[in-house]
Structure 1
């Protein structure tokens, strides 16, 4: 048996059969991708009889996973988010007069289309907008394409709330700044993340998650808009995220806490270590080169950032092979530019 993916018609049966065959009833099932999140939440009842599940059912979870619903809930709760244009058909797109630059992104991750894999497309002018929108709409449906203003600034303006929740309340939480990312203005992935005290992000995240009585791991992304000073909600990831290794390095081991909670054990309180950071070295070099070429990062500043690194994405002295393999893969991604820029 082999896993054909969460979108496969037999995906649920595959998981149930695996559980029965290998006696996994007490195993904690942790979906690690958007499609897997959707499958697990939509099949919550069936999977709860085969695994331990630490995730809300889909009727609640979809309010933070599907971006149109996320922004609707944010508006209801009085949380700031980027200006988002409501478009349900190509005809509406043809009459739209947005303020450029804008970004196009899928309403939720998961899937194999070119647009979904790109995650975000930047569009700088009207001549490029309609072709880009129509192509995306053809791939995933017009109602599933989110058209949104692009907030200026790079990783220095982006913050994350990382936490473990249970029964609608936080068990452990901290905030971080996604200081560098690649590409530098709107990243496909974070490359340098450091713990940072951002109480406004924590407060907004608590309001949002409490509204759906959330349980499980979660990372919520925000960006500070320098035009009006508002901290704006971007995205919610109810799963382990790329820089998850920083949690343990910063003194809040959310993975271990999740397991303890699933076992019914008491989770000890923990405080976050200040100035701890995580680095994706190969991609961070590419991000640093981009920032340096624009005069936004000096060599001295970049070298100083290494002093606080407590966790690496792929590098480890006792297991160097993943880091070595990642070097040519990162070079290929940089060359092919998995995040598109149109116009």
Structure 2
């Protein structure tokens, strides 16, 4: 893509330097954006990056800690007319959305004018109604409000996926093989109630697809599709390997899900293809890029840059083309690439460009630090 000159009066503050935040920092910096970062853990490999101008610290990303730190950081960035604030996880999005007046006094957020819609779509108990209203398949679902509610699933088909209604609770998903298993999980996670139970759609990780969009007041600026190749835990966890694919139906269903909402910024939708070929909504990501944003960036779809430009009112840089890409979360699964390379008997699996969460030709220190941390953990574990 051809990037227009970046206005030096504008800067970006990325909330986090985990592998997700690091991908955004690199994408912004290499496009010429003055980029800063904020994290509670300055020991992360991403904290060693040479791609941000300064790493600020916060005690936590909870509102009580984050909001005053954001105020202080903005005072230190007073040389800039506008600073775009870019969330990297759902809790950050929730804090920004619930405290939008305080945040927007200092920062620009691409999606803030539709914060209520963003907060609504974050709650998983809203998704069944929304999906069906938009003509999409959604797995049969039941909500458990107390630890003794397992009997509500008597008519449901097992195995069942359970997930908390509120984002970033103490667990992401679990699998209940039978009613007794479900009762055990509800007792264990009662602090995370309410919890949703969904009938499991058959298929492994490779049956999970996603559409990634960049919207401006509901208008599609650009979109692409991909699918999981692996996740942890398998079939129900966070993506660890993903590839770009050409799936027009996934792109169309993703647009259909977000139709009429007038959202701005990056959004995505995860869908699962059932054995009969039908697609079923798993969950959306709103208010931020997804954890696998490195896949989009590597393919030529620079979502962080486009989000920054929307937030600060600048012309948006449109991708001129995209290329095949395979992305690896080498933080959670450092053996993913060698396994795939061995299975495909080549160093360029799937004939795609290979992108890694830490390894980067102009930013070596995060990868070196990540390898060092991994080696230390192996040595300590062996003793």
- TM-score, normalization by structure 2: 0.74
Q: Pick from 281, 284, 287: which aligns with 1:236?
A: 284
In structure 2, what is the equivalent of residue 267 of structure 1? 316
Give 1:242 shift: 2.2
CA distance in 2 between counterparts of 1:288 and 1:3 reads 34
In structure 1, what is the equivalent of residue 165 of structure 2? 107
In structure 2, what is the equivalent of residue 222 of structure 1? 271
CA distance in 2 between counterparts of 1:10 and 1:300 reads 47
In structure 2, what is the equivalent of residue 113 of structure 1? none
How far does the alpha carbon of each residue in 1:269-326 deviate from its partner, in whole angstroms, 9 at most, with x for none?
Answer: 325424222223465565689x99xxxx972368652641342111224444433444
CA distance in 1 between counterparts of 2:239 and 2:375 reads 13
- 1:156 and 1:180 in contact (8 A); partners too: yes
The answer to whether 1:12 aligns with 2:67 is yes
Distance 1:152-1:284 versus aligned 2 partners, 3 A rule: farther
Distance 1:301-1:150 versus aligned 2 partners, 3 A rule: farther
Give 1:181 shift: 2.1
CA distance in 2 between counterparts of 1:19 and 1:280 reads 31
| Other structure's SS at 2:153 match | coil
Q: Pick from 83, 96, 118: which aligns with 1:27?
A: 83
- 2:244 and 2:325 in contact (8 A); partners too: yes
CA distance in 1 between counterparts of 2:60 and 2:76 reads 19
In structure 2, what is the equivalent of residue 190 of structure 1? 239
- 2:358 and 2:366 in contact (8 A); partners too: yes
Specify which structure has the higher proportion of helix: 1
Map of 1:96-175 to 2, 5 A cutoff? Answer: 96-97=153-154, 98-110=156-168, 116-137=169-190, 139-141=191-193, 143=194, 145-175=195-225
In structure 2, what is the equivalent of residue 341 of structure 1? none
In structure 1, what is the equivalent of residue 141 of structure 2? 84
The answer to whether 1:178 aligns with 2:222 is no
The two structures, once aligned, show a CA RMSD in angstroms of 3.0
- 2:164 and 2:171 in contact (8 A); partners too: no
CA distance in 2 between counterparts of 1:154 and 1:199 reads 21
CA distance in 1 between counterparts of 2:345 and 2:139 reads 30
Question: After TM superposition, where is structure 1 displaced by more than 4 Å over at least 4 residues in a row?
Answer: 281-289, 301-304, 327-333
How far does the alpha carbon of each residue in 1:15-65 deviate from its partner, in whole angstroms, 9 at most, with x for none?
Answer: 234324532650000111111100111122332221111124432112321
Distance 1:156-1:72 versus aligned 2 partners, 3 A rule: same
Larger deviation, residues 303-312 vs 56-65: 303-312
Q: Pick from 118, 121, 124: which aligns with 1:61?
A: 118
CA distance in 1 between counterparts of 2:177 and 2:336 reads 21
Distance 1:152-1:323 versus aligned 2 partners, 3 A rule: farther
- TM-score, normalization by structure 1: 0.81
Distance 1:266-1:95 versus aligned 2 partners, 3 A rule: closer
Structure 1 alignment gaps of length 5 or more: 111-115, 337-343
| Other structure's SS at 2:133 match | helix
Larger deviation, residues 315-324 vs 99-108: 315-324
CA distance in 2 between counterparts of 1:175 and 1:332 reads 36
Q: Pick from 93, 97, 100: which aligns with 1:41?
A: 97
CA distance in 1 between counterparts of 2:211 and 2:326 reads 15
The number of residues matched between the two structures is 319
Distance 1:283-1:254 versus aligned 2 partners, 3 A rule: same
CA distance in 2 between counterparts of 1:32 and 1:167 reads 21
Give 1:117 shift: 4.0
| Other structure's SS at 1:9 match | helix
- 1:163 and 1:217 in contact (8 A); partners too: yes
CA distance in 2 between counterparts of 1:122 and 1:278 reads 26
CA distance in 2 between counterparts of 1:109 and 1:176 reads 23
- 1:63 and 1:73 in contact (8 A); partners too: no
Distance 1:284-1:314 versus aligned 2 partners, 3 A rule: same
Structure 2 alignment gaps of length 5 or more: 1-55
